[in-house]
Structure 1
Amino acid sequence: MWILGISALLGNTFVLVFRLRSTPTTRVAKIQAMIITNLAVSDLLMGIYMVLHAVMDILIGESYFWEGRAEEWRASTTCQIAGFISVLSSETFVFLLVLLSLDRFICVVFPFSNWRLGVVSTRVTIGVIWLASVLLSVGGVLLNNLNPDAYGLSDVCVGLPFIRKSTDIREEDDTWTSNQYGIPYSTTIAGSTVSTWKYSIVLFLGINLCGFVVIFLSYIAIFIKARFVRAELGQTSQSAKEIKMALRMLLIVGSFSVGCQSSSLVS
């Protein structure tokens, strides 16, 4: 956690300094610079989240297990802040990558279209993205405070899709243990389980999956468009370049899916 957190802080700080010191001149360069700068800010927030957990791990230490401080930690203000930062970072990351992919898709596939992002429209869209991410982050925190029994946070302060709650709980006599030790003993049995964090299912498995599909289809369309353009220009011996382009797009889409998984699971 320390390595990942500090690496995210240092790497994204470098990106921010580099971007803020550069002065893009063209419209496309300005748009790309704005999106990448905000991507660096969202990743920087994830670094803060990781370092915060690493610090709290040192402060709480083994008492988390031996003294049963799990509930105390989950209900703490620090944990609520960490959860807010995590969701804010991950969802902003997703939305910005979708915006970046759509901008590239329009520029390559429809180069003469009037429906293009401008500098002002990009700023407005990025502002809307941050606002939507803040609202989604606040929503998770509010749900946890309004109904902690149903929306109790996990140990990493984010309600994850696989967290389930036991229902139809009943006690039954454990005859084997009673006969073995000669004392009456009962055990607790759950009839079924239900998902306790439906909000995160919509968030991580719904919104993020839709974002992945949009990015995947956008880069597939870009690849197909590039092949058609090369064919029209008579460039038939471009197999090596096409393989290189395909691998580059596979890396982009793959890094997005890994990023989403790490945002929703590691965070």
Structure 2
Amino acid sequence: MHGAKYYTASMYKAVFRSVLIELFVLFICSDFEGNSIGSLSNSSFITCDELTVLFLRGNRIKLVKENIFSSLRSLAEIDLSNNLITEVPLSSFKELKHLQKLNLSCNPLSLHTDQFETLPHLQSLSLEKIEIPNISTKMFQPMKNLSHIYFKKFRYCSYAPHVRVCTPLTDGISSFENLLANTILRVFVWVIACITCFGNIFVIGMRSFIQSENKTHTMSIKILCCADCLMGVYLFFIGVFDVKYRGQYKKYALIWMESLQCRSLGFLAMLSTEVSVLLLTYLTLEKYLAIVFPFSNIRPGRRQTLMILMTIWLIGFIIAVIPFWNEDFFGNYYGKNGVCFPLYPDQTEESGGKGYSLGIFLGVNLVAFIIIVFSYVSMFCSIQKTALQTSEIRSHIHMDVAVANRFFFIVFSDAVCWIPVFLLKILSLFRVEIPGTVTSWIVIFILPINSALNPILYTLTTSFFKEKLKQLLHRQRRRSIFRNERKSISTSLVWTEDSAVQHSTLKLGFLHKKSLEETVIRTT
């Protein structure tokens, strides 16, 4: 009995000792965070075959060798974040059949397309602050059980549509549920679209109805309104597709951004933007020549103006269509975000597309803006220095000055719209992280608002339109007064005739009654 009791105590002591050793080994082998470890060898984890959790974050590991984790067959979670790892061999996690959580965040890592094909049981994958230029749906398809994934960019979430939770939840433009993430943007996209379309159509109609002496200028304004109207059409269809994908955008995000519809809308927006910029530059130069060189005879005629306008549309079309010519060089130029506009800064963008975008926005558009500003400064300086004697010439110059003042406000509105765009592109050159919310407001609200304001600035505020409108209202009032007077006269005439008829009838009746009485008297 005594021997049995001794055997049991000895057994308990051995079990307790082994548990302590295992706990000690587990602690030593599981938590290596922040120990400045520079490298790992294949023998580092041989004695840790029962290890389930391994933390190696915050070290200086540069290389993960092949089969380095092959002895950790029970490993369920591994954290390699915040290291200097540039590449992970495909066989590194091959033997980890029970691995459920993998964290590779904050590493200068290059991922292969088949990087995770040996991890079918993985449930959580963290790839934060890692650029993935070769990202594709094939990269995440083998991980059927993946439920949580963490990326650097929201756009990457569209390549893992089967994952339940993906962060970041939005890029400021779109969210996992909606094409337009913000409720205010969803409302304003319709408001600005309606104002832009109907405002420009109204201007075209009024310019066609009210005849002007300067027909070439009127033709230029109509063409500009057509270009601005395209921006309204673009916003209208963005609103339509936002409604179509409401609540389920994550399922169709990749399909939408790679679709012909998205690319066509991007082409339409780019065409509208560039034609509008070039037309404003032409109209500014035209007024510059008229005011700074009033005695020169270099104003284009109707035929020359028509040729210039056609050339501007051709240049705008070429600028917008070039990214379609070589997709390998430009990439999906118009499909980098949900609104299909190539303004959004993306460091993983193909070099051709990125260079082209910078060339258009910081090249063509910035040069055009500088020309417009310089022209108006020169115009106002010339106006102040000029002292003309002839009243006729003065009245002509006065009309040009009024037009120049009106176009100054147009240029001011362009500056408010375009300066944020220039700043956005300049910051992207220096790889400054820009909040997606800022970009969304520029794309949906600030940039198109110029197209919505142009009808008011071009027609409703002009002295010519005001004068013609006063004349129309005056004519309408005179016609109304004339109609009322005619109606009053007709009513008066009818009343007079009716009164005369009634008076005659009464008089005849009285005479007839009197003659009857006289006849009766004579008879009696």
TM-score range, shorter chain: 0.7 to 0.9
Paired residues of 1:161 and 1:195 also in contact (CA < 8 A): no
Change (3 A) 1:75 1:146: farther
| Alignment: residue pair count | 225
Structure 1's 120 and 33: CA in aligned 2 closer, same or farther, altered over 3 A? same
Matched, 1:105 2:288: yes
Instruction: Name the CA distance, whole Å, in 2 between partners of 1:114 and 1:54.
Output: 48
Does residue 19 (structure 1) correspond to residue 207 (structure 2)? The answer is yes
Equivalences for 1:1-267 in 2 at 5 Å? 1-25=189-213, 29-65=214-250, 67=251, 69-144=252-327, 147-148=330-331, 152-160=335-343, 162-165=345-348, 197-230=354-387, 251-260=409-418, 265-266=442-443
- Structure 1 residue 165 displacement after superposition: 0.8
Q: Distance in 2 between matches of 1:102 and 1:154?
A: 36
Give the alignment's Cα RMSD to 1 decimal. Answer: 2.9
C-alpha displacement at 1:266, in angstroms?
1.2
Deviation at 1:102, TM superposition (A): 0.3
Q: Using the alignment, how far apart are the partners of 1:93 and 1:100 within structure 2? A: 10
Q: TM-score, normalised by structure 1?
A: 0.75
The higher-RCO structure (CA 8 Å, 6+ apart) is: 1
- Identical pairs, percent: 31
Whose helix proportion is higher, 1 or 2? 1
Structure 1 unaligned blocks of 5 or more: 167-192, 234-243
**Which has the larger Rg?**
2
Cα distance in 2 for residues equivalent to 1:48 and 1:261: 24
**Long gaps (5+) in structure 2:** 1-188, 390-401, 423-441, 445-524
| One-letter identity of the residue aligned with 1:58 | V
User: In 2, distance between residues paired with 1:263 and 1:13?
Assistant: 27
Q: Displacement, 1:257?
A: 2.0
- Report the AA paired with residue 2 of structure 1: W
Answer yes or no: is the 8 Å Cα contact 2:196–2:232 preserved in 1.
yes
Q: Secondary structure at the match of 1:158?
A: coil
Q: How far, CA to CA, are the matches of 1:203 and 1:14 in structure 2?
A: 31
Q: Distance in 1 between matches of 2:405 and 2:304?
A: 31
Structure 1 partner of 2:175: none
* 1:137 CA drift (Å): 0.9
2:216·2:301 contact (CA, 8 Å) conserved in 1?
yes
Q: Would you say the 8 A contact 2:204–2:222 is kept in 1?
A: yes
SS of the residue corresponding to residue 325 of structure 2 reads helix
Conservation of the 8 A alpha-carbon contact between 1:106 and 1:116: yes
- Deviations along 1:95-134, one digit per CA (max 9) or x if unpaired, are 0000000000000000111322211111000000001111
The secondary structure found in structure 1 opposite 2:348 is strand
1:30 is matched by which residue type in structure 2? K
The residue that corresponds to 2:35 in the other structure is: none
- How big is the shift at 1:22? 2.6
Q: Say if 1:217 and 1:261 are closer, same or farther in 2 by CA, change over 3 A.
A: closer
Q: State the SS of the aligned residue for 1:12.
A: helix
Amino acid at match of 1:210: V
Contact kept, 8 Å, 2:333 with 2:342, in 1: the verdict is no
Using a 3 Å threshold, how does the CA distance of structure 1 residues 5 and 245 change in structure 2: closer, same or farther? closer
Which whole-Å CA distance do the structure 1 matches of 2:419 and 2:306 have between them? 27
1:151–1:196 CA contact under 8 A, matched in 2? no
C-alpha distance 249-137 of structure 1, shift in aligned 2 (>3 A): closer
Residue equivalent to 1:179? none
Change (3 A) 1:18 1:157: same
Post-superposition shift, 1:256?
A: 1.6
Contact 2:291 2:382 in 1 (8 A): yes
Mean CA deviation greater in 70-79 or 111-120: 111-120
Residue 21 of structure 1: how far off its partner (Å): 1.8
Structure 1 residue 260 displacement after superposition: 3.8
CA deviations 1:195-242 (Å, max 9, x no partner) are 852211111121110110110011101100110025x77xxxxxxxxx
Supply the distance in 2 between the matched residues of 1:86 and 1:48 (Cα, whole angstroms): 9
